[in-house]
Amino acid sequence: MSDDAEDRKVAHQSDVVSPMGTPVCSHCGTPIETTEWFPIITETTESESVVLHSFCDETCQDEWNQS
Ligand SMILES: [Zn+2]
């Protein structure tokens, strides 16, 4: 990844979190430090709206996927 790509990723994440403020982990509920990278999963519901699930780290992402 180049530095340019990194900049775009950070900008995208701030877009994602702005409607609801500080995101919390969808698995353990811990507030996520948005200045660092964190995993995000997008899920399309039956009504075709997109739901974002944020996780504090990949361990929570894996555990959430398995539940
Ligand atoms: Zn977590």
Ligand 1 centroid to Cα of residue 46, in Å, is: 25
Summarize the confidence of residues 33-48 as an average pLDDT. 93
Ligand 1 centroid to Cα of residue 34, in Å, is: 13
**CA 26 vs CA 8, 15, 45: distances in Å:** 24, 18, 16
pLDDT at site 6: 57
pLDDT at site 15: 47
48, 54 in Cβ contact below 8 A?
no
Ligand 1 centroid to Cα of residue 59, in Å, is: 7
**Sign of torsion over alpha carbons 16, 11, 59, 32:** negative
Ligand 1 centroid to Cα of residue 8, in Å, is: 24
pLDDT at site 32: 93
Q: Domains of the chain, with CATH numbers?
A: 3-66 (2.30.170)
Task: Give 18's pLDDT tier (boundaries 50, 70, 90).
Answer: very low
- Residue 11, pLDDT above cutoff 80: no
pLDDT at site 45: 94
6 Rama sector, left if φ>0, alpha if ψ -120 to 50, beta otherwise: alpha
32, 22 in Cβ contact below 8 A?
yes
